């Protein structure tokens, strides 16, 4: 069974979706730890209630991004995960950190990348008048929100939508596609080869035995 470490900065609703998928038996992984850069992150309480080890690497306690990323990597490596999952982790990671976990570092972004990288994606989508919006699971690379796409989910932008309504519709799809992408990785079906995503076809199920 693959193990993963989840990085959060706040409530961690995508973390909660991963926990729920594990609980339903849909996600064959072991969550080794949840780590936050904020000691007051609500998601730490949620993880602890699930019996998952938690840790804090406070970015404010480090002189710069490189120092913080080094401390974060040391903490992550202490749990020896197969996969590192960003779930609302609000820090820009250095190239050295990203390269360290190349091919096993996933993020989810609330837009259909490459459209609307960065912050305030729902507001920008409404301002641009797009009719289709959504979310993207991608491998993390040094280029912010431009890593190879694993899976996307699209939602319509409805007349009368405000930022909150559109965000809620997108978030519901995030909670579907993130566990799916992690499951593909856990099953050995998802890989990054020469910068391109490969997802192997699901193994066919054996035919049931029929007794006379």
pLDDT tens digits for range 107-156: 999 999 999 999 999 999 999 999 999 999 999 999 999 999 999 999 99
* CATH classification (class only), 2-192: alpha beta
CA–CA gap between residue 109 and residue 15 (Å, rounded): 14
Reported pTM:
0.94
Active-site residue identified among 59, 109, 138, 175: 109
Q: Is 109 a catalytic residue?
A: yes
Taking residues 187-211, report their average pLDDT.
79
pLDDT of the residue at 209: 52
Does residue 176 have a cis bond before it (omega within 30 degrees)?
no
For 35-93, the pLDDT digits (tens) are 999 999 999 999 999 999 999 999 999 999 999 999 999 999 999 999 999 999 999 99
For 171-183, the pLDDT digits (tens) are 999 999 999 999 9
- β-pairing, 132-139 vs 149-156, is antiparallel
For 11-22, the pLDDT digits (tens) are 999 999 999 999
CB of 116 closer than 8 Å to CB of 125: yes
Ordered by start, the domain boundaries in the chain are 2-192
Q: Which residues contact residue 59 at a Cβ distance below 8 angstroms, ignoring those fewer than 6 apart?
A: 37, 68, 91
pLDDT band per the 50, 70, 90 thresholds, residue 211: very low
**β-sheet bridge partners, residue 33:** 5
φ/ψ (deg, to 5) at 100: -60, -35
CA–CA gap between residue 88 and residue 10 (Å, rounded): 7
């Amino acid at each position: 069974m693959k193990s993963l470490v989840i990085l959060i900065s706040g409530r961690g609703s995508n973390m909660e979706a991963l926990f729920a998928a594990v609980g339903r038996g849909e996600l064959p992984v072991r969550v080794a730890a949840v780590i936050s850069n904020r000691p007051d992150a609500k998601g730490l309480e949620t993880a602890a209630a699930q019996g998952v080890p938690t840790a804090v690497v406070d970015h404010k306690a480090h002189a710069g991004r490189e120092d913080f990323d080094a401390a974060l990597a040391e903490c992550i490596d202490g749990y020896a995960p197969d996969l590192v999952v960003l779930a609302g982790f609000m820090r820009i990671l250095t190239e050295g950190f990203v390269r360290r976990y190349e091919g096993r570092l996933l993020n989810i972004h609330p837009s259909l990348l490459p459209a609307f990288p960065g912050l305030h994606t729902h507001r920008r989508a409404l301002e641009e008048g797009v009719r289709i919006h959504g979310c993207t699971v991608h491998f993390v690379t040094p280029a912010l929100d431009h890593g190879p796409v694993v899976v996307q989910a699209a939602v319509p932008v409805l007349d009368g939508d405000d930022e909150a309504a559109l965000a809620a519709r997108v978030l519901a799809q995030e909670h579907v596609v993130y566990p799916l992408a992690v499951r593909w990785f856990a099953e050995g079906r998802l890989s990054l080869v020469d910068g391109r995503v490969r997802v192997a076809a699901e193994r066919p199920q054996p035919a049931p035995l029929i007794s006379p």
